[in-house]
Structure 1
Amino acid sequence: MTRPRAALRTAVVWEVLKDALERRSASAGREALDVLDAGGGSGHFAVPLAALGHRVTVVDPSPNALFALERRAAEEGVAERVRGVQGDAHGLLEVAERGGYDAVLCHGVLEYVDDPAEGLANAVAALRPEGGTLSVLAAGLGGAVLARALAGHFTEAHRALTDPDGRWGSSDPVPRRFTPDQLRELVGETGLEIAAVHGVRVFSDLVPGALVDTEPQAVEALAQLEAAAAELPAFHAVATQLHLLAHSR
């Protein structure tokens, strides 16, 4: 059975994160970890993590997203392991315990906060001081430039390439994008040890749906291609998203 095409968007991140938490569980001698999902929305990662047995706290500013999270957790039978709290990255430590989590997810947050360094510092402060794992997922500049160019929007592609925030215009829905070096520097300044960087959605956002949907095995083949390219630095610069895994020392 092939995976849904939509799963390609997070397949690489999920596999990396799952492996990292398995290692953390083994080193901590506890199967159930305490996970904080900052900006976790309706629980795209939180609910599957809870299904693995972990205790997950989701902090999100949207009441609607938290309502959807509660419903999804109940439907999947993990409601007792998922807790939703309204809040944002700026006030993260007002609603989440400082130093209280084995892992912190900061996915799709740094693009939108007023101060990425502050938001990241708060996420790091929520980690346990030894052995904590940070997972960061952020918009990549190169993927946006490539996508605009291939769509024939050359002026927008050039603007994104030269804009300080990587935006292709005033109607661009993403406030900020990062190069691999920028994201590495941002995380490195927190004092965490960077374990890995992955390119996410290197190909899947560029391949026309018709080419995949007409071939039963094409989705799986594309997933394997994404996984193979994810760890190669040459492809990080053109990825739609960048995933970085780091650990407290």
Structure 2
Amino acid sequence: MPDPSPVFGRETSSRPSRASLRTAVVWDVLKDALDRRVKATGKDSLDVLDTGGGSGNFAVPVARLGHRVTVVDPSPNALFALERRAAEAEVADRVTGVQGDVRGLFDVVEREQYDVVLCHGVLEYVDDPAEGVRNAVAALRAGGSLSLLAAGLGGAVLARALAGHFTEARHALTDPDGRWGAGDPVPRRFTAEQLAELTAEAGLEIGAVHGVRVFADLVPGVLVDTEPGAAEALLKLEAAAAELPSFHAIATQLHVLGEKRA
């Protein structure tokens, strides 16, 4: 079976893509979690749920590893793109798209039927993030793993400040939802402590917290695209900083990996 990692930055070409720089940390953590669940369950193929999985940026590579993936997303257009992408990757038999959302998750899927649940880029947009996490955890079998990815507050503050929007940066710091103003396209952002609290309250043992896109969104694209070796060096820097708590406060996104208590 082909290795899905080129999708996330382990390309056979000499230089990682800009997209891979933003996703490589999450993919590496997720792949390790999948491998551990395979060993723990003794199953060759896991049941994976991707809430808000859209067009399959993670679902299709996971399916290419041999796992069965159900994607729940409210957008018919995204699900159509998912179907096309899965067919092109020759994994259509292992990817199922269902229209729905994390709030009404159990209208479309069953409880406690999944070994791994992905909840990436969802909590920013739901009315009740705690409910979203509880539903994601309730979909897991005992011992299953949750991969949670959400927008980080510190990264947004830093980005606005570096762009010269100092008032907006300060506003984001004091806003309950971490928004920098009325024009902010992201409804809600989180600190690492807030995400850890949400997952712990939902019954997860937190295995790891990672900062994602600590530097990738701040480095000028022209430098990465033209300087020899810059992309590879940046990829290694992102991986090295991801687990260090001191860098979580400035990450554009935060990733939490947790395990459901038996």
| TM-score normalised per structure 1 | 0.99
Amino acid at match of 2:76: P
The yes-or-no answer on 1:145 pairing with 2:141 is no
Moved over 6 A (4+): none
Report deviation, 1:193.
0.2
Corresponding position of 2:6: none
Corresponding position of 1:115: 128
Corresponding position of 1:217: 229
Amino acid at match of 2:165: H
The yes-or-no answer on 1:159 pairing with 2:171 is yes
How far does the alpha carbon of each residue in 1:78-135 deviate from its partner, in whole angstroms, 9 at most, with x for none?
Answer: 000000000011100111110000000000000000000111111110000x210000
Q: Trace 1:34-183 onto structure 2 (pairs within 5 A).
A: 34-128=47-141, 130-183=142-195
Report deviation, 1:216.
3.4
The yes-or-no answer on 1:189 pairing with 2:201 is yes
How many residue pairs match? The answer is: 248
Contact kept, 8 Å, 2:205 with 2:258, in 1: the verdict is yes
User: What secondary structure sits across from 1:234 in the alignment?
Assistant: helix
Corresponding position of 2:38: 25
Following the alignment from structure 2 to structure 1, what is the Cα–Cα distance between the partners of residues 145 and 228?
A: 37
Following the alignment from structure 1 to structure 2, what is the Cα–Cα distance between the partners of residues 127 and 80?
A: 22
Following the alignment from structure 1 to structure 2, what is the Cα–Cα distance between the partners of residues 28 and 89?
A: 26
Amino acid at match of 1:38: T
Contact kept, 8 Å, 2:137 with 2:146, in 1: the verdict is yes
Following the alignment from structure 1 to structure 2, what is the Cα–Cα distance between the partners of residues 121 and 248?
A: 11
How far does the alpha carbon of each residue in 1:170-213 deviate from its partner, in whole angstroms, 9 at most, with x for none?
Answer: 01000000011111111110111000000000000000011111
Amino acid at match of 2:17: P
Corresponding position of 2:250: 238
| TM-score normalised per structure 2 | 0.94
What runs of 5+ residues in structure 2 fail to find an aligned partner?
1-13
Following the alignment from structure 1 to structure 2, what is the Cα–Cα distance between the partners of residues 236 and 83?
A: 34
Report deviation, 1:3.
1.6
Corresponding position of 1:229: 241
Corresponding position of 1:202: 214
Contact kept, 8 Å, 2:137 with 2:203, in 1: the verdict is no
What runs of 5+ residues in structure 1 fail to find an aligned partner?
none
How far does the alpha carbon of each residue in 1:134-161 deviate from its partner, in whole angstroms, 9 at most, with x for none?
Answer: 0000000000000000000000000001
Amino acid at match of 1:184: A
Following the alignment from structure 1 to structure 2, what is the Cα–Cα distance between the partners of residues 18 and 31?
A: 14
